[in-house]
Structure 1
Amino acid sequence: MTITYEWRGDVDNTALNELHAEGFGGPVQRTDWRTRLQRHSLGWVVARDGRRPVGFVNVAWDGGVHAFLLDTVVARDARTHGVGAALVERATEGCRAAGCEWLHVDFEPHLRAFYFGACGFRETAAGLIAL
């Protein structure tokens, strides 16, 4: 498996919707990722094995110094090969190059070791309102 990573890489809506369905469970959606990313994101990273996307992370931002990781996903057959950590590393580099000072992430408890260990995030106090 030879994985390549691309900041703000070309996105195929169908392939990305299939990757999200596999990674997060549920049916394949018909999200227009290209439009969403261009409109709302500082950047994103696509990991590919050949032409097939095997990983993705979206970086939303406030237009200033705060960026936010969203939608981190890795295909089942690409997990445990460092793809997720490499996605986050490249996203961090893209944020730094854009002048951001902070990169935030929210995650479920089972991902704690990944974000704090493999990716270098530190624990902070935060709040959440379920809408």
Structure 2
Amino acid sequence: MPTQLLLRPRVTPAGITTSSFLKNPPKAVAVAVRRRPGPGPGACACLSLTVSDAELSSRGFSVRRTAEGIDVAALNEVFARVGFPRRQEERLRRALQHSRVVWLEAAGDRRPVAFARAAGDGVFNAVVWDVVVEPSWQGLGLGRAVMERLVQDLRRDGVANIVLYAEPRVVGFYKLLDFAMDPDGIRGMAYYRSANSSSAAVTSL
């Protein structure tokens, strides 16, 4: 399998992509990879769910598999409460339009209590981003619920290579979902160009 170059830009509160973190690369970044052949477009993903849609519904949660109707401002608030940077709302809306999304809604108010998205080419590769659970709802298995459905949807599309970045403290969570550190030792790399220089730099994560 070809070496993958994974980009992890950091977003400022203003929603502007910056590469300042590359000057002091974070140590708490690991690349986890799930490499399994997809079942082919339209085929059954054949992944079991630890909690069914019906059970989630009985607990007051609605499963949403598109970004349609999501309260983007509320999503930004969840990002902030879990320590993620806020995004410019219009840019976030555009990102959601180009992502496969799974989120859980409570009380029918369009406010996400758990959220995950993936971006990619829709065929071969996908990268998982922004897996969050509203702090007051953590510990109930909602993060696993959205991730299982996101992976299920990607595999139903036939996507064979699903990757993500994870801090060491949550690697165990993703291992429960069959993610693993890349056995070939493939490292993520981030590209940036200094504003004061015509040269580019590449940092290994």
The TM-score range, normalised by the shorter chain, is: 0.7 to 0.9
Residue 44 of structure 1 pairs with residue 104 of structure 2:
no
Letter of the 1:126 partner, please give it.
Answer: I
The 8 Å contact of residues 21 and 29 in structure 1, kept in 2 or not, is answered as no
Residue 64 of structure 1 pairs with residue 123 of structure 2:
yes
Pairs within 5 Å for 1:1-131: 1-10=59-68, 11-25=70-84, 28-32=86-90, 33-38=92-97, 40-41=98-99, 43-50=100-107, 51=109, 52-117=111-176, 119-124=177-182, 125-130=185-190, 131=192
Alpha-carbon distance between aligned partners in 1 of 2:129 and 2:186, rounded to the nearest angstrom: 16
The aligned length equals 127
Question: Could you tell which deviates more after superposition, 66-75 or 56-65?
Answer: 56-65
Cα 1:29–1:66 shift into 2, 3 Å? closer
The structure that is helix-richer by fraction is 1
**TM-score, normalised via structure 2 length:** 0.56
Shift of 1:113: 1.0
**TM-score, normalised via structure 1 length:** 0.85
Shift of 1:21: 0.8
Higher relative contact order (CA 8 A, sep 6+): 2
Shift of 1:35: 1.8
Letter of the 1:95 partner, please give it.
Answer: L
Letter of the 1:18 partner, please give it.
Answer: E
Identity %: 28
Cα 1:86–1:31 shift into 2, 3 Å? same
Higher Cα Rg, which structure? 2
Q: Which runs of 4+ in 1 moved over 6 A?
A: none
Letter of the 2:60 partner, please give it.
Answer: T
